[in-house]
Amino acid sequence: MPDTRERDRFLQFLRTRGLRVTQERLALFDEIFAQHKHIDAEELLAAMKTRGLKISRATVYRNLDLLVDCGLVRKQRLGRDRFLYEHVHGGQHHDHLVCTVCGRVVEFVSPGIVALQAEICRAHGFQASRHTLQISGLCNDCAGAQPVLQSVGAVKEGAARV
């Protein structure tokens, strides 16, 4: 069980807040740490049902927010209408490239950008608590396959990768 550290952190978080350690919370934790992609609440719910776990939609949403507060999960809109969740491992912050055709999400890390952001915050007397950088466009595959017709926003999100 490689997620022991995170699991402990979650338990710690619950206790210090006087929250209860429920079956559902543990199951949700396990599920999202078993997933290695950006996933939305509905998919998460479905995945858990498939495994025979009983949990309701409301509980999934409620506890995802809890995991976000705890800092173990990141919640973002990556080009879609719904939120996508990803568990945070080591803690290295990364940003995203999102393909507007196939929906593929590529993560990247840029210390340079992080440094510049810090500088900007300093210049504006702004105390940053988080940031999101999202670059959307065409991924390698889709750029090759597509004609260069792209009227902005013409292609609706969420299509499967062709």
C-alpha distances in angstroms, 157 versus 61, 79, 82, 110, 143?
23, 7, 11, 26, 16
Q: Assess 158 for contact with a copy of itself (CB under 8 A).
A: no
Nearer to DNA, 44 or 138 (CB): 44
CA 111 to chain centre: 20
Q: How far apart are CA 160 and CA 123, in angstroms?
A: 42
The 48-67 site mask, x for binding a copy of itself (CB under 8 A), equals -----------------x--
Nearer to DNA, 8 or 42 (CB): 42
Could you say which of a copy of itself, DNA, none residue 69 binds, taking C-beta under 5 to 8 angstroms by partner kind? a copy of itself
Nearer to a copy of itself, 4 or 127 (CB): 127
Residues 6+ apart with CB under 8 A from 135: 95, 96, 97, 98
Enumerate residues 9-68 that contact DNA by CB under 7 A.
14, 18-25, 40-42, 54-59, 61-63, 65
Q: How far apart are CA 72 and CA 107, in angstroms?
A: 17
Instruction: State both tokens at 63.
Output: 């506890």
Q: Assess 137 for contact with a copy of itself (CB under 8 A).
A: yes
The minimum distance between CB 140 and DNA, in angstroms, equals 28
Q: How far apart are CA 133 and CA 152, in angstroms?
A: 19
Q: Assess 125 for contact with a copy of itself (CB under 8 A).
A: yes
| Cα dihedral 100/101/105/111 (nearest 10) | -50
* Site for a copy of itself, rule CB under 8 A: 65, 68-69, 71, 77, 97, 99-100, 106, 108, 110, 112-113, 116-117, 120-121, 123-140, 143, 150-153
